[in-house]
Structure 1
Amino acid sequence: MPKYFTLIFIFLLINTAHVVAQHQEIHTTPHLWKGKKSVAEDSSSLLFAFKHGKVHGNLRYFFMATENQGHLTDAYAHAAGGGLFYETASFKGFQMGVGGYFIYNIGSSNMAKIDPYTQTASRYETSLFDLEDLTNKNDLDRLEELYLKYNFKKSHITAGKQLINTPFINLQDGRMRPTEVGGLYGEIFPGKKNKLEGGYLYEISPRGTVDWYGIGESIGIYPNGVNTNGVKGNYKGNIESKGIYLLGYTHQLPQNHSIKFWNVFVENVFNTSMIQWDWKKNEWVAGLQYTHQQAVNQGGNEDPSKTYFSPDQKSRVISAKLGYEHSHWKTSLNYTRITAEGRYLMPREWGRDPFYTFMPRERNEGFGDLHAMVGKVLYTFPDFPLKANVSYGYFQLPDVKNYALNKYGLPSYTQLNVDLTYEFINFLEGLEIQALYVHKSNQGETYQNEKYIINKVNMSNYNLIMNFHF
């Protein structure tokens, strides 16, 4: 069956021909619950606030399949689920929100199956369900949001379990459910041209899990790769951290310029700082990022074999964009350089890369001495709400045996993404369908070892996602 994925996927593309992008750009408000808005009413009665609250729901179906090279094991998954979210109306500026979600594995290949040639399991499909228990098909429910929010002017501060979308901690490109965080987080607007945001996080529920974890505990749920000396990573359950402190500032400059500053301090583990400049004039757009990282103390553990961020390394990342946007077209050329001073590290459990070269289904996290070049084209059809998004990239990575700069044993590769998205109106309003095709081709040395190939290169990944929001 897996070898027919290509034909099946093309058939689905043709026969749906209607497809919203399933991943969300960072720096934007999370919109998992369509229509989720703060309610303007404010009464002296607490009962009034509860009775005039809003309920939102979502039903979701996700088909994913991965077709690997030759005799290497393929995988496929069918997932379905639903959830409800409730938020009260405003009461003296305060609102309460609560939401949860359930997921079922309704027909998939064996998520715990190990490929006999490489001793590895499925990479992509497993995160639709529970990475901590690959045999779990039914008990896949999670309390996702439970918060108290205080609104003042156009600003707000939220305490509890919530969604945030920042450069380094974000929803991620979707599976069934996103990464959620617990803590205190606020967005404040001191003037029309300034935005200040940040807070303190003490727990995280990563995408592909059903539980909540302390900050140190959350690092390592995803594969650990190898240490800088080539020994298998061993930091899962061995990282100590009291929490994450985030601070972001955005300022709108004259003539369509903007500048962003971000800092993420992970107590006892590492610190990451970023500055980003964006510009737009007529149809032209441009952007430039600079990111710097270094370890804090011993990077999470005094034992070098169990630490997350080696204190002997640091990383610098430069990312740039130049684009042209006109009428129904958006195009861009993008470049990212990670220097050879060390690996760029950010727990994959927390979010995806903020770089301009990001493409769904792969990341630049875990690598140093990297060059990435990506072209992107987005076309919005004028007569109906169909979008076609095509991107192609070349990623030059260090040799797979250069363990100090290649954490996950990924060779250089090219990647093609084709993404069709559609949001229905009228009778089928609330229904969204997306089809995403990804192909990655090897461009590096693999030393005739298929562990550097399976689920990494010479593979295709197929996705069909349907959402109904109400």
Structure 2
Amino acid sequence: MKRFLILIFFGLVLQTSHAQEEKSVDIKPDFHLRTFWMSSTYPSDFKDDYALGTSLNLGTKISFQKNWNFQIGYRVFANVLSSDIWSPDPLSGQSNRYETGLFDLLNPGDSFFGKLEILNLGYNSDKWGVKVGRFGINTPWINPQDGRLSPTGIEGVQGWFAPNENWRIEAWWINRMSVRGTSRWLGVGESIGVFPVGRDVFGKASKYSGNTNSDFVGLYQVDYSRDKLGKMSLSQTYVQNISNTLDLSWNKDWSMKGSKAKWISGAQIGFQHGIGDGGNSLDSLAYKSPEDRNWYLSTRFGWRNSKWLTHMNFTRVGGDGRWLSPREWGKDPFFTFIPRERNEGFESVTAATWFASYTMQDFPLEIYGVIGIHQIPSTSDAQANKYNFSSYRQINFGLKYRPKGLPRTNFHLLVMNKEALDSEGLTPNQRYNKVELWHVNFIFDIYLN
């Protein structure tokens, strides 16, 4: 695909050399520098870890022939400073879960590497467009996630159609994935299992990594917006030979009489079922059971004005079998999602969160906090609890600073703590990487595009 795109690009550039003045070529740089400090601290019986990583994307966007554009970007990664993050914890025997994700999980120990992250050719008119190659994506179950040195990327085709200001229809066909924390582009099946695989339904270590067969993802999303109704989105994520997931969401802000403040509300429902052989005809190697039938409901209600934003959220997951979506592909779309943890891999979840933030008016600083309670099945039920995770309480506290004179620069400090709701009898494997954990992130970004 790379050679095909490059040949098309140079052919079109040659054509533009004879174009009229209104069809001139416009070249813009695409630059992103990210520096990321991460540290995890546990009780004295586990090892602590830290890492300082940096990544630099150098690219360009070339617009020509009025509606055409070509993008290319290469990102390099470096381990500037770190503890011995690739060695397992001596007590639990488990590998580091957080800091290693800044670097190349497929080649542990590499201190410097890179990958061609963006390479695409696109056409956009007022009402429709199409893009082919490598680019980013943001949908309920495949999204940037933004928790490491680079975002999730896809390779394939995207098309969109917007007949008027109320409707937008998008569709994707994906055949390869760029997983954060890796240096290679992987096939759809290959990308599942890069992150820790947990345990199978019998309580043994899962074996689907490297054994999952899936050729493509087909995805569509329909958005409809009106002031009185709010915004509604319907999406379907079809993972060939593994699963089909349907999501419907609604979000609306409500004006308050005599005030600039607004009430905010939202609701999400979803259904997922297994298809094909779940990734492999052998049950011991399959990623998902074809017999799984799962659903979720998530709600939000809150309030905001020019300084404050606060909301309460609730999620319930149920059904038969595990709700599964590859962690390599993005974060949960649930309203109760809190950064640095997901509620995926469980047969049932009951979660409630409260979020509040305050943005200063005379100084570009946002202060926020979130607390969540997450009830999940017992660790003794392997079929219903893939990652051997106990029910937990999570608290996040953060600061976001965006200098007024540098609008494309931002700083983000995140401090997270997770504790088990019932710590009695937990094994080292059920504690390390999961609870009794303080986790600190400091992220610095510079953009030029």
Same-fold status (TM-score > 0.5): yes
- Candidates 195, 202, 206, aligned match of 1:229: 202
Quick check: 1:58 aligned with 2:40? no
Check whether the contact 1:343–1:367 (CA below 8 A) recurs between aligned residues.
yes
Q: Distance in 2 between matches of 1:158 and 1:399?
A: 45
Distance 1:114 1:47, change over 3 A: farther
Cα offsets for 1:72-113 (capped at 9, x unmatched): 011100112312120112324211100011111011011211
The one of 246, 254, 278 equivalent to 1:281 is: 254
Q: Distance in 2 between matches of 1:462 and 1:445?
A: 22
Deviations 1:364-414 (A, max 9, x none): 011122100000112111112111121100001111121111110110110
Deviation at 1:448, TM superposition (A): 3.7
| Counterpart contact for 2:242–2:290, Cα < 8 Å | no
Alignment of 1:356-367 (within 5 A): 356-367=335-346
Could you tell me which of 402, 411, 417 is aligned with 1:439? 417
- In the alignment, does 2:62 pair up with 1:84? no
Partner of 1:337: 316
Any gaps of 5 or more consecutive residues in structure 2? 1-15, 256-261
Q: Any unmatched runs of 5+ in structure 1?
A: 1-41
* Residue 372 (structure 1) aligned with residue 351 (structure 2): yes
What does residue 19 of structure 1 align with?
none
How many angstroms apart in 1 are the aligned matches of 2:23 and 2:364? 36
Q: When the two structures are aligned, how many residues end up with a matched partner?
A: 427
User: Is 1:306 equivalent to 2:280 in the alignment?
Assistant: no
Match of 2:142 in 1: 169
CA shift digits 1:308-341 (9 cap, x unpaired): 1112322111111111112211110000001152
Q: CA deviation at 1:279?
A: 2.0
CA spacing shift, 1:175–1:48, aligned 2, 3 Å: farther
User: For 1:166, what is the secondary structure of its paired residue?
Assistant: coil
> What percentage of residue pairs aligned between the two structures are identical?
33
SS across alignment from 1:352: coil
Mapping of residues 116-131 of structure 1, within 5 Å: 116-131=90-105
In 2, Cα distance between equivalents of 1:134 and 1:74: 18
> Pairwise mapping of residues 45-444 of structure 1 onto structure 2 (< 5 A)?
45=19, 52-138=26-112, 140-253=113-226, 255-282=228-255, 283-426=262-405, 428-444=406-422
Q: Which runs of 4+ in 1 moved over 4 A?
A: 46-51
**Cα–Cα, structure 1 residues 47 and 322, in superposed 2: closer, same or farther, change >3 Å?**
same
1:314 and 1:46 map into 2 onto residues whose CA distance is 58
Q: Tell me how far apart the structure 1 counterparts of residues 442 and 426 of structure 2 sit (CA, whole Å).
A: 33
- In the TM superposition, what is the alpha-carbon distance from 1:218 to its structure 2 partner? 0.7
Shift of 1:240: 1.1
Structure 2 length-normalised TM? 0.92
Higher mean C-alpha deviation, range 450-459 or range 152-161? 152-161
Aligned Cα root-mean-square deviation (Å):
1.8
Distance in 1, matches of 2:144 and 2:355, equals 22
Q: Distance in 1 between matches of 2:100 and 2:169?
A: 37
Cα distance, 1:58 vs structure 2: 2.0
More strand by share: 2
CA contact (8 A) 1:239 1:301 kept: yes
Counterpart Cα distance in 2 of 1:200 and 1:448 = 43
After TM superposition, the score normalised by the length of structure 1 is 0.88
Question: Relative contact order, CA 8 A, sep 6+: which one is greater?
Answer: 1
Contact 2:36 2:441 in 1 (8 A): yes
Change (3 A) 1:241 1:451: same
Give the superposition deviation at 1:47. 11
Distance in 1, Cα, partners of 2:122 & 2:424: 51
Whether the aligned pair in 2 keeps the contact of 1:399 and 1:445 (CA below 8 Å) is no
The answer to whether the 8 A contact 2:266-2:301 is kept is yes
Q: How does 1:32-43 map to 2 (within 5 A)?
A: none
Contact residue 269 and residue 295 of structure 1 kept, 8 A: yes
AA matched with 1:174: G
